[in-house]
Amino acid sequence: MTKLHNHESKAVKLNEKKISLVIPVYNEEDNLPELFRRLLPVMESLERSYEIILINDGSKDSSLPLMLREQKSHPQTVRVIDFNGNFGQHTAILAGFKSAKGQSIITLDADLQNPPEEIPKLISLLDEGHDVVGTVRKKRKDSFFRRYASKIVNKIMNKVTGFSIHDYGCMLRGYSREIIDIINECGEVSTFIPALAQKFAVNPIEIEVSHSARTAGESKYNLFRLIRLQFDLMTAFSMFPLQMITILGGIIFAVGVVLACLGIFGHALSFLLAGIVTTCTGITGEYTGRIYQEVRKRPRYVIRKIYEEGNNV
């Protein structure tokens, strides 16, 4: 009898743990109908209260009307946050975090490359007490260049930041309420959410999740955006590049002294030093530019309207 009572109490407790699903959306009109078709049965199968928070990050196609149609069909569970412009994926997720009311928070891209059917795995691990559930894409369906570049970036970033994240680019991730509350208190303009969560995690875990080829639409990350994102990650979580500049400066000075003593000079050395100086100036400028962004105190994003049950502001 006692065992039965404990089992029922545990079931009630799980039902009280609401799930918030945060999905940033930018020009995904081709994927949204299929996403909604597959997502809602998954959420219902969890037999828990849940909310789906869709953030329209300045879409120029019909993504917003599709999201609003879904919100009207499911007003109790779907909320739409409409930005007045494009502020970026991580900024959109931060807006979703501010709005999330659940005890377990899941982030998911709208492009269906990470199947929503994987969500129950993450919820189960959060229920077990893990505060961050990271994911690694298994058998990635991206191009060879994208996969190879990702491996290099993951290794470099782990060295620079001191973290141990095997797939920085996979945004299907789970977070506890405690981690989200800490992230919501952070005020920096440029950040990288998986690394920020890892910094505060006490009991993180990583699991493999399946990965699908993009069947519709185009990737929103071109080479420039990817490089910019890596700079955000590097400068937000490490002083290592600046420290390397100091070390490099000392090495250059020592080499210069030796060459001067030997009487060896040349144009090649001049070009080499010019390249090093330019690179160092660029890295220093990245940090300086981010300091400038922070002291301006501009808002991270501007919300045009929130669509939810009984309240459109």
Which residues are CB-neighbours of 309 under 8 A, at least 6 positions away?
Answer: 75, 76
Q: What is the DSSP letter of 257?
A: H
Is the CB of residue 157 less than 8 Å from the CB of residue 163?
yes
Alpha-carbon distance of 235 to 233, in angstroms, equals 6
State residue 134's pLDDT score: 94
Buried b (16+ CB within 10 A) or exposed e, 77-106: bbbbbbbeebbbbbbbbbbbbbbbebbbbb
State residue 7's pLDDT score: 45
Q: Checking DSSP bridges between strand 132-138 and strand 173-176, what pairing results, if any?
A: antiparallel
State residue 267's pLDDT score: 56
Mean pLDDT, each 10-residue run in order, the chain (313 residues)? 45 68 96 95 95 97 96 96 93 95 96 94 96 91 70 75 82 96 84 86 94 70 59 63 65 65 64 69 71 70 91 58
Query: Most distant CA pair in the chain: distance in Å?
Result: 92
Its pTM stands at 0.74
Which of 114, 174, 165 lies closest to 140, judged by CA?
114
Residue 137 structure tokens: 């894409």
pLDDT tens track for 78-102? 999 999 999 989 899 999 999 999 9
pLDDT tens track for 181-198? 999 998 776 678 888 899
